[in-house]
Amino acid sequence: MNLAEALNVAIPDLPVRVARRERPPKVAPDLIVRETVEDGQPFFNVMIPETRRYYPFLPEQWKLLRLFDGIRTYAEVAELYSAETGAFFPEQYARDFAEQSRDMPFWYRSPQERNIALSEKLAEERRRRVAKQDRFSSLAEITFTAWDPDRYLSRLHDKLSFVFRPWFLLLNLTLFAWSLALWLQHWKAMGLDTVQYFDFSEKTLYGFAEFWVLMLFIGFIHESAHGLACKHTGGEVHRMGFMLIYLSPAFFCDVTEAWVYGGRWERVTTMVAGLWSEMILCFFATVVWWGTPSGTVTHRISYEFILLAGIGAVIINLNPLIKLDGYYIFTEMIGIADLKENSTIFLNTWVKKHLFQLPVEVTYVRPRRAVLYVTYAILSGAYSYTLLFVVVTLAYKVFYRYMPGWAFVPALILALLIFRSRIRTLVQFVRTVYLDKKPRFQARMRPPVVVGICVVALLIFFAPVWKQTVGGVFILEPLRRSVARTSVPGFVEQIYAFEGERVKAGARLALLRDLSLESELARIEAEYATAEAAARRAQILYADYSRAEQDRLRLGERKRTLREQVSHLTVTTDTSGTVATSRLRDTLGTYLPPGTIVAEVDDVANLQCRIYVPEYEMREVRVGLPVTLVHAGSFLPLHSKVAGIFPAAVPAGDPLLPVPEFRGTRAPSYYVVTAVIVNSTGAAAAGETGTARIFIKRKSVMGFVRDMTYDFVRTKLW
């Protein structure tokens, strides 16, 4: 049994405890103190070397704290403080200040007092053991044991100290500019690929494993850069570990000492260092992606590295609405610490006091600061809840691949785990409002009011005001396709159109060349001219006119036939539309026999939409129902109506259908619903895909509950 456990069962009133209550405390002599300015207010940051945590003090508080030397009495401390400040300071104020902060770690404790404090701490930990075991029930942050990286970062700083020199900064900016220029050339594809990469519903188990490995590597480099920058400011880093944020892997690094040893720009540098290291790694990934052949593993991994460490990190990590690097950089630049907490508390208390008339106190804030608090609290809250909703939605999509009928169960459990604390807070708030308004509510609940509330509730639950829709993926196809073929053989001499080019009816697509046909036409034209002259001469002289006329007619028919064949050397389209054939220029100089397809032209003025709808949602789909289409890369929807329904299910090999990853899972059957899109403005193109919503009808809340219950009983329990 160690000393702490022995003290835990000892008599409750040890002499040392009595001594602690009688003797004024003494400030610890090994505190690390740095003066700083936050939000225009001077502060003294006091760090405890043992715990590596710092506490901010106002100048008046620090002046009072440093007067406690363990020898002076409370009256002497009050007298000295009054002499320094020039204002009367009573003895009781000094006593209250010391008693209220008695358990804080900036007071000096003897070894015996430390053992007593350790005993009390162990007893408190035993009382909270059950709560500590529950740390994995919150998916917002699952933290694992940390390690002390100070020695590792010290060696790393000795070898990489050049990264903080100006020439290295200029080199980085040049490399980043080159990478950005290369990204901008492929921005359209990269933007769509970034969204697809973070859509976990399409990832296989190998894809998940690969994502985790990349995240672990990038996270370790990112947090090591934070620690390296903290070491450069003169501080130490004694805590670094691994955590899961909504099941996404991440490292963390405690760089608290940057707030003690460094000023504002040193702290900003510490926060920027993580993202800066990712950008450096992303540059090397860009070089590898740019220089490796397409289709290789190295090319693909480097491209995923760009999407994850480059574009994804800049969009997510620099966002000041959540407490990541962007938030801390933003708060340092505007000089307001704890912006998220203070703004949230201010908005919550203001709403409780002015909207719900609750007896709470709203902290006074200057008008301009109040506007910033309200704006930031609203935007930050909306972004945070949107992020949580996206997490639940992605989880639902992942589970949907393996169990379409039951995907809502794990998604619902995940949502309850994520929103559990928020639900508890909401329930507590509703309870507080109810208890506060209960007397007034009971006084106003007269029979007419009760009847009105019941009528409104009945309308909400039974009025058919909610839209019922059926969703599915779609692909746009041309309603009419014109095929341009060669009528005569020849070599391709000229190409007049390219893939994706809009052409009108009768426009030239290609020009062929046949020297034998053209030579024959020139010879026949010469013979026809001779025969025509002989026929006129015979008519004038009345000499054998019949035979001369027959030769002229025969050669004229031959000339017309050859001219028609020569005209077919120019390949044209008989309809207006978009050229769908790719790589037309590759046919230059090639010989094309008769009947060869030169190009295909799609009439995109009217497009046919093929919508893939799961079998379990086909029950209420009918011809004539409205359809809303949102294709990839556009926020403007297209509108149409259901034109037809294919009577048979889609074959399993259709490329648009999701393929189950495991042999033990079976994908649902899909049916094709068609619709016609009038594309006179050219807003859509053939081959585009997206999401379609078929509007069925409006239902009430009870109607949805009834249908869900019926489907559940019919498909799961029957």
Give the span between the Cα atoms of 93 and 645, in whole angstroms: 83
DSSP 307: I
DSSP for 668-701 reads PPEEEEEEEEE-TT----TT-EEEEEEEEEEE-H
> What is the average pLDDT across 569-584?
80
Q: How many CB atoms lie within 10 A of CB 97?
A: 19
Is the pLDDT at 407 greater than 50? The verdict is: yes
Split at pLDDT 50, 70, 90, the class of 71 is confident
In this prediction, residue 18 carries a pLDDT of 39
In this prediction, residue 32 carries a pLDDT of 72
pLDDT tens, 613-637? 887 778 788 888 888 888 765 667 8
SS3 content of the chain, % helix, strand, coil (to 5): 55, 20, 30
Is the pLDDT at 115 greater than 60? The verdict is: no
> What is the average pLDDT across 441-458?
79
Angle, CA of 611, 711 and 423, to the nearest 5°: 95
In this structure, of 132-146, 274-288, 660-674, the range with the lowest mean pLDDT score is 132-146
Answer for the pair 517, 566: CB distance below 8 angstroms, yes or no.
yes
Both tokens of residue 25?
A: 């405390």
Q: What kind and span of H or E run contains 243? A: strand 240-245
Q: Which three-class secondary structure state does DSSP give residue 663?
A: coil
Closest CA to 693 of 617, 621, 629, 637: 629
Q: How far is CA 136 from the centre of its chain?
A: 25
Residue 141, amino acid:
E
Q: Is the dihedral of CA 48, 51, 52, 58 positive or negative?
A: negative
Split at pLDDT 50, 70, 90, the class of 314 is low
In this structure, of 272-286, 320-334, 387-401, 465-479, the range with the lowest mean pLDDT score is 387-401
Q: How far is CA 624 from the centre of its chain?
A: 36
DSSP for 558-586 reads HHHHHHHHHHTTEEE-SS-EEE----GGG
Give the span between the Cα atoms of 275 and 281, in whole angstroms: 10
Angle, CA of 229, 231 and 236, to the nearest 5°: 130
Question: Pick the residue with more confidence: 150 or 117?
Answer: 150
Answer for the pair 551, 534: CB distance below 8 angstroms, yes or no.
yes
Beta strand extents in 399-536 (DSSP E only): 466-485, 490-495, 502-503, 508-513
Burial 323-356 (b: 16+ CB within 10 A, else e): ebbbbbbbbbeeebbebbebbbebbbebebeeee
Question: Pick the residue with more confidence: 144 or 620?
Answer: 620
Q: How far is CA 258 from the centre of its chain?
A: 30
Task: Scan for tokens 């994706």, then name that residue.
Answer: 500
In this structure, of 86-90, 212-216, 482-486, 653-657, the range with the lowest mean pLDDT score is 653-657
Answer for the pair 429, 360: CB distance below 8 angstroms, yes or no.
no
Question: Pick the residue with more confidence: 127 or 191?
Answer: 191
Give the span between the Cα atoms of 189 and 476, in whole angstroms: 20
- Any alpha helices (H) in 107-204, and if so which ranges? 111-127, 129-133, 150-159, 166-185, 187-197
Q: What kind and span of H or E run contains 711? A: helix 701-712
269 to 38, 231, 265, 276, 334: CA distances (angstroms): 17, 11, 6, 10, 15
Domain 468-475+603-717 CATH superfamily = Efflux pump adaptor protein, beta barrel domain (2.40.30.170)
Give the span between the Cα atoms of 146 and 51, in whole angstroms: 14
In this prediction, residue 129 carries a pLDDT of 45
Task: Scan for tokens 């976990």, then name that residue.
Answer: 200
pLDDT tens, 147-174? 788 888 888 888 888 888 888 889 888 8
In this prediction, residue 133 carries a pLDDT of 43
Residues in CB range of 512: below 8 A, 6 or more apart = 486, 488, 489, 490, 491, 492, 493, 569, 570, 571, 592
pLDDT tens, 516-563? 877 877 888 888 888 778 777 777 776 677 777 787 788 888 888 878
In this prediction, residue 629 carries a pLDDT of 84
In this prediction, residue 1 carries a pLDDT of 37
Closest CA to 403 of 73, 9, 715: 715
Based on its alpha-carbon atoms, the radius of gyration of the chain, rounded to whole angstroms, reads: 39
Q: Which three-class secondary structure state does DSSP give residue 255?
A: coil
- For the chain, the farthest-separated pair of C-alpha atoms sits apart, in whole angstroms, at 154
Q: What percent of the chain has pLDDT over 90?
A: 0
Q: What is the mean pLDDT of the chain?
A: 76
Question: Pick the residue with more confidence: 245 or 344?
Answer: 344
Is the pLDDT at 252 greater than 60? The verdict is: yes
Residue 170, amino acid:
L
What is the pTM assigned to this prediction? 0.53
Split at pLDDT 50, 70, 90, the class of 22 is low
Burial class (CB in 10 A: 0-12, 13-18, 19+), 25: buried
Is the pLDDT at 112 greater than 60? The verdict is: no
**Spans of all domains in the chain:** 3-134, 136-335, 339-444, 468-475+603-717, 478-597
Is the pLDDT at 51 greater than 70? The verdict is: no
346 to 304, 343, 350, 359, 421: CA distances (angstroms): 42, 5, 6, 14, 20
